[in-house]
Amino acid sequence: MSIKPGAMLGLLGGGQLGRMFTMAAQSMGYRVTVLDPADGGPASSVADRHLHADYLDSDALRELGSTCAGVTTEFENVPAESLRTLAEPCVVSPAASSVAVAQNRILEKNFLAANGFGVAPYAVIQNSSNIHNPDGVIQQKRPELFPGLFPGILKISRFGYDGKGQARVSNPAELDTAFIGMNREPCVLEKLLPLESEVSVIVSRGFDGEVATFPVSENQHRDGILDTSIIPARASPAIIQNARDIAVRVAEKLDYRGVLCVEFFVLADGRLLVNEIAPRPHNSGHYSIDACVTSQFEQQVRILCGMPLGSTAMHGAAVMVNLLGDLWQGGEPKWEQVLRHPCVKLHLYGKLEARHGRKMGHYTVLAESTEAALQLALEIKQSLEC
């Protein structure tokens, strides 16, 4: 049964991903209600309605469930309990069970390892005694692995993103200090590996099992934040196909219905290790708005509403560059440096305050070749930073 245009859709979360979902839904004839505890968020400023309440507010959830035909999310840290509550009166995508795994790094790593997906060697740190007694740590593959995890990166199990909630550690003493700095919350200690590159795949899976993947993105980060995405990724056909195949298998094992991002480490020998999974559209898929027949956000609407998936074919090569709040430190950036190029698309998220490291927007360069798109993207980047 499909949800027809004209219906009200619900969205948990008010950030830029929600803004782009809302715009895609409205262009298809749907209306959108955003549930967001914050005022003036990117999504609520364009939505048809804003419920200003906590994600666990029972009255707000009742209102959302009774007025919306379907509900989705725009970030992974929405309480799974809220999704379970909403699944009773209306369609929910993705399901609480899928989100509960993807929003917790411990559950995520254990799920991936248990299902045979390659991951970096890791250990789960539940409390300080684990650090001083490694034999008590849940480890992948073999118990003596814990001493071999240095240098490593400590990642908090919940609410970490864009480099937040992470710390590089070289020995148990640094691990102890970092763990204290994360308020002794459960964490994953992951071995740092020499990487050839990082890539990601956006996979869409409908309620009927129909699956589509977007072109693989090559991602470059700065200070833990995605800086540039290059599409299609500069990798061998074997790596590209393998990444797509693994992403689909992850979605199937999760019984995932919606838009999912699977991030990979590419090792020098061509092996792919799953880094993280995100139960939502992803920053590395923003290029799809301008470069693909169907964007990841339109695909999210299609799945939620039980409609057939759209084509993910590209019009040409693309490079997406994030615009962080640092660019505003000298005043409003000179957008003519971006817009004077007819093949470049500018997206600003309507955030009221520009802060260090905050994603304020992005631009996408379209070209016939990856090399041409990347060259122009870097020239624009340099001109904005001057």
141 belongs to an annotated ligand binding site: no
What is the SS3 assignment for 80? Answer: helix
Name residues whose C-beta falls within 8 Å of residue 304's C-beta, 6 or more positions apart in sequence.
Answer: 3, 9, 70, 71, 72, 91, 93, 258
d(CA 104, CA 157): 5
11 belongs to an annotated ligand binding site: no
253 belongs to an annotated ligand binding site: no
192 belongs to an annotated ligand binding site: yes
Cβ pair 34, 51 in contact under 8 A = yes
198 belongs to an annotated ligand binding site: yes
52 belongs to an annotated ligand binding site: no
275 belongs to an annotated ligand binding site: yes
163 belongs to an annotated ligand binding site: yes
166 belongs to an annotated ligand binding site: yes
177-184, long-range: CB within 8 Å, 24+ apart, which pairs? 178/154, 179/125, 179/128, 179/131, 179/154, 180/128, 182/154, 182/156, 184/127, 184/128
Cβ pair 281, 186 in contact under 8 A = no
127 belongs to an annotated ligand binding site: no
Cβ pair 296, 16 in contact under 8 A = no
Name residues whose C-beta falls within 8 Å of residue 234's C-beta, 6 or more positions apart in sequence.
Answer: 197, 218, 370
- Give the residue among 41, 1, 37 at the shortest CA–CA distance from 22: 41
Cβ pair 152, 168 in contact under 8 A = yes
Q: Which residues does the annotation place in the binding site for ATP?
A: 105, 155, 160-166, 190-193, 198, 221, 275-276
Q: Which residues does the annotation place in the binding site?
A: 105, 155, 160-166, 190-193, 198, 221, 275-276
